[in-house]
């Protein structure tokens, strides 16, 4: 039986390429946050991207090139710009006006990236824009109630879709042990999702958990 390599988990359009002699994840697109470039390729920094960290750690995200993606917590576009480099229509939800302006700038050269100034806790406010049955929800929302956000947005996910969730323990409860916080979030998630894989992201992001799940 052939053993899968880490590269086998990468979607089409994401490659490992050398930048200054160091092999790094990369996508094709205009630079957004001062990342190294090599021609049309731009390095994907996993220390600034929870999804990038999940790729680096070999998690099986199920993402494929040309997938339709709903990205919750897009901020200034660091990660979602990489996603839009290889994915299909990518809906980027950000609540704060200042990073949303930077997100708009990242979207200018990416016709498949749609910026939405909205609150991920209130999916009804963008339900008229986001198409039904998206292939993946990528969530990186630093707020209390991260499981509830994922459950509220489950309505957009295809039956065979994936939730790629980065749980920030300190956003849920700064006083509790992160493992206890993660356990509580996972228990709540199970009301609407089956968890396929979980992994601490501490190598790149302290007190974060990466979760891959599918809708029940």
Distance CA 142, CA 108 (A): 26
Q: Which residues are annotated as a binding site for S-adenosyl-L-methionine?
A: 78-79, 94-95, 119-120, 140-143
Q: How far is CA 26 from CA 18, 56, 138, 192, in A?
A: 9, 11, 18, 33
Could you tell me if 110 and 13 are in contact, meaning their C-beta atoms sit under 8 angstroms apart?
Answer: no
Exposed, middle or buried by CB within 10 Å (0-12, 13-18, 19+), for 131?
exposed
Binding residues, as ranges, are: 78-79, 94-95, 119-120, 140-143
46 secondary structure, DSSP code: G
Quick check: 54 and 164 in contact, CB under 8 A? Answer: yes
Is residue 140 within 8 A of residue 50, CB to CB? The reply is: yes
Cα angle 172, 102, 29 (rounded to 5 degrees) comes to: 105
């Amino acid at each position: 039986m052939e053993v899968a390599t880490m590269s086998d988990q990468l979607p089409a359009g994401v490659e490992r390429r050398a930048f200054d002699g160091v092999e790094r994840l990369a996508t094709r697109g205009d630079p957004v946050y001062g990342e190294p470039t090599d021609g049309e390729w731009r390095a994907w920094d996993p220390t600034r991207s929870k999804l990038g960290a999940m790729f680096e750690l070999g998690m099986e995200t199920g993402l494929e090139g040309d997938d339709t993606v709903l990205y919750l917590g897009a901020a200034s576009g660091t990660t979602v710009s990489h996603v839009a480099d290889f994915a299909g229509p990518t809906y980027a939800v950000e609540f704060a006006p200042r990073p949303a302006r930077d997100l708009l700038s990242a979207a200018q050269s990416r016709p498949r990236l749609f910026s939405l100034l909205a609150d991920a806790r209130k999916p009804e406010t963008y339900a008229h824009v986001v198409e039904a049955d998206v292939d993946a929800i990528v969530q990186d929302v630093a707020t209390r109630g991260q499981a509830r956000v994922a459950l509220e947005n489950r309505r957009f996910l295809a039956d065979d879709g994936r939730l790629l969730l980065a749980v920030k323990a300190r956003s849920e409860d700064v006083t509790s042990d992160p493992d206890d916080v993660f356990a509580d979030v996972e228990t709540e998630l199970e009301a609407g999702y089956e968890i396929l894989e979980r992994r601490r992201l501490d190598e790149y992001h302290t007190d974060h958990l990466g979760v891959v799940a599918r809708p029940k």
